[in-house]
Structure 1
Amino acid sequence: MASFPPAQQAQIIRANQRDLYHVSALKEQFESVLRTWLGTRWLSRWEKEVDLLVKLVYYGLTTVRATQTLGEEYTDIWQYSSLHRAVPPPALMRATLVLLPTLPGYLVARMDDWLPMHRIPAKWRTTLKQIPSILEVLAELNLAAFYIQGVYYDLVKRVLGIRKVSSTPHNPLVRPPSYSLLGILLGVRLLHRLVTFIRANYVEEQASEKGKLRTQNLGEESFLDERPVSQFLGPVDPEGQPAKPAEEDERTMLDVASIPEELRAGRNCTLCLEERTDSCCTECGHLFCWSCIVGWGREKAECPLCRQALDLKRLVPIYNL
């Protein structure tokens, strides 16, 4: 393409900004019509489909038809296939150029609605949820490379080898602006995100290893706020110890002595039949003494009242009942 010089960075950036503006304006007009006909609730439900349709219509009537988009027409640039050395690129490549940036994002956004996530293995669920973040990082890497090199504004165009050429000859007396500093700043931000990600994973691994060592050293000990449950229980065999008077309960905000007798009668623990001390709540909502329910749970992993499964790690301390 000796007769067509490559498009300058400023032309490509302005063309992209212009296209975004027209897509946004078209979407607003489309939503206004649908809101009038079908209502706001319907529009909120199908917002992602509307966004996909607008992009397919805009780029389908321009790029797929081998014509300039409004942004490209504004800056007078054309798409050029470096693989086929053709302006415009072949029809299949033009269709791919429209579908690849739009369909994957839509499918990822609707993934939770279509896939039965509870039936997918946890490892695959984690991978699927990371797809948007991975695509975002790749797009930023490509943008940083564009600001430094000056070609391939979009990741899809880089993969397909779609460049931009200008039908306006460059002025040799005018030096084009440089955007290398923006590329360097984007690279620094990505490096910071990478360091933060590695550090977070390292901290998580260290916490996991500490948890394993703690479990190995203390058997099946449970922890609450990094403190072993045994510290809350005090004696190893709390059931063999005399009941602690409610007035001596240090783990409550209530002034037990000032509570009327008829109300204190409703504070009895159903296991020890004494007034509750160190009160805690199970997942099913029943209240017991901390030592009583932990002693019970070590023998039988179910609530003594409703027989629902009991997990000692999910007991919640209660300070105001």
Structure 2
Amino acid sequence: MALPAAQPAEVLRAWQKDDHYEKQLAGSMARLMPSNHASKAVPISSLLYKSFTTLNDLQTLGEEYSGIVQVDETYHKLPTFGNRLLSILLSAFGENLTRKVLRYAETAVEQNATLKPAVQNSLVVLFKAVANMLPQFESIHRALCYISGGPIQLGKTASGIDYVQVRPAAAAYYAHLRLLGMVTLLHAFVSCGQSIYQAKRHMDQMREFPNEVDSNKSCVACLEEIVQPCVLPCGHIFCMECSYGALETCALCRTPFLKNSVVPLMNYSP
């Protein structure tokens, strides 16, 4: 006889317990690590905690507390070693890896001389908007789990892992959890909408600037009036704060430049 699927409240309790223990482990590890590497304690603690439990065919402390067990999509077998390993890696490093891929794609677009500046700007803004929405994607997945059940971690869903109940769940009403899911879903959609609106607004502002800035009194990088103008090797002019700050490629023609090649224009007024 097949075991019943785990109730959303039991899955949530297990996730909260495991998250608590992982944070405790991360805090202890951070105190032992050099300060410049302390940020790595969170993914490493998650990897260690799940490796000693899930990867060894054992329940986590949270799963044991809630009486649930991981199963594959058939609900009759334990997940394969490969699926468990994939879920652990995605849970620990998935978001950071996705951000690195987006940054790599953004850099590749900026250095692609065959693309028109307008296309480059649009793609860069799009990649930045997707990166800003990554936490909201996780919130949407969590909200759907509150409403219809399933694992809280996006990595487990991507790996085809679910939960079954191995002992009777505590009697509870789940209407409040579904309500929480709908509120979380609404908040995530609103946040995504704001990111999309800001990206569209940024692209519209960039279209207002011509490719040449000879007679323009605004800096294309910060969209403010040029203060202490500097010229890049490509001939485009920006304010000193942007030229020696975050800019690594020209915001108009995407030509890379070095900071020591920037020339301040001491007596120049755009």
Task: Give the alignment's TM-score, normalised by structure 1.
Answer: 0.57
Shift of 1:125: 6.5
8 Å CA contact 1:8, 1:176 repeated in 2: no
Task: Give 1:96's aligned residue.
Answer: 86
Shift of 1:144: 1.6
1:185 equivalent among 183, 195, 199 = 183
8 Å CA contact 2:18, 2:61 repeated in 1: yes
Q: Secondary structure at the match of 1:51?
A: helix
1:222 equivalent among 216, 220, 227 = 216
The sequence identity of aligned pairs, in percent, is 22
Q: Gaps (5+ residues) in structure 1?
A: 36-42, 226-279, 285-306, 317-321
Aligned ranges 1:55-94 → 2 under 5 Å: 55-83=46-74, 85-86=76-77, 88-94=78-84
Q: Secondary structure at the match of 1:79?
A: strand
Shift of 1:99: 1.1
8 Å CA contact 2:10, 2:66 repeated in 1: yes
Taking the aligned partners of 2:146 and 2:209, their CA distance within structure 1 comes to 46
Shift of 1:209: 4.5
Task: Give 1:251's aligned residue.
Answer: none
Shift of 1:95: 1.2
8 Å CA contact 1:64, 1:91 repeated in 2: yes
The Cα offsets for residues 63-97 of structure 1, whole Å up to 9 and x where unpaired, read as 000000011111111111114730x2111111112
Taking the aligned partners of 1:200 and 1:158, their CA distance within structure 2 comes to 30
The Cα offsets for residues 178-221 of structure 1, whole Å up to 9 and x where unpaired, read as 21211221222223223323433443344344445xx99xx953
Q: Gaps (5+ residues) in structure 2?
A: 111-119, 220-226, 232-261
Aligned ranges 1:127-146 → 2 under 5 Å: 132-146=131-145
Q: How many positions carry a matched residue from both structures?
A: 220
8 Å CA contact 2:142, 2:152 repeated in 1: yes
8 Å CA contact 2:11, 2:151 repeated in 1: no
Shift of 1:57: 1.4
8 Å CA contact 1:5, 1:170 repeated in 2: no
The Cα offsets for residues 128-153 of structure 1, whole Å up to 9 and x where unpaired, read as 65564343222111112112112232
Shift of 1:19: 0.4
Shift of 1:59: 0.5
Task: Give 1:249's aligned residue.
Answer: none
Residues 65 and 311 of structure 1, relative CA distance in 2, 3 Å threshold: farther
Shift of 1:12: 0.8
Residues 23 and 189 of structure 1, relative CA distance in 2, 3 Å threshold: same
Shift of 1:170: 4.9
8 Å CA contact 1:143, 1:154 repeated in 2: yes
Q: Secondary structure at the match of 1:85?
A: coil
Taking the aligned partners of 2:194 and 2:133, their CA distance within structure 1 comes to 15
**Code of the aligned partner of 1:168:** R
8 Å CA contact 2:10, 2:169 repeated in 1: no
Aligned CA-pair RMSD: 3.8
Taking the aligned partners of 1:204 and 1:26, their CA distance within structure 2 comes to 41
Task: Give 1:44's aligned residue.
Answer: 35
Aligned ranges 1:25-44 → 2 under 5 Å: 25-32=24-31, 34=32, 43-44=34-35
8 Å CA contact 1:23, 1:54 repeated in 2: yes
Taking the aligned partners of 2:81 and 2:196, their CA distance within structure 1 comes to 43
Aligned ranges 1:293-312 → 2 under 5 Å: 308=263, 310=265
**Code of the aligned partner of 1:57:** L
User: Which of structures 1 and 2 has the larger relative contact order (alpha carbons within 8 angstroms, sep 6+)?
Assistant: 2
Taking the aligned partners of 1:89 and 1:100, their CA distance within structure 2 comes to 15
Q: 1:12 and 2:3 equivalent?
A: no
**Code of the aligned partner of 1:143:** R
**Quick check: which has more Rg, 1 or 2?**
1
**Code of the aligned partner of 2:8:** Q
Taking the aligned partners of 1:59 and 1:22, their CA distance within structure 2 comes to 11
2:173 equivalent among 163, 173, 176 = 176
8 Å CA contact 1:108, 1:131 repeated in 2: no
Residues 180 and 127 of structure 1, relative CA distance in 2, 3 Å threshold: same
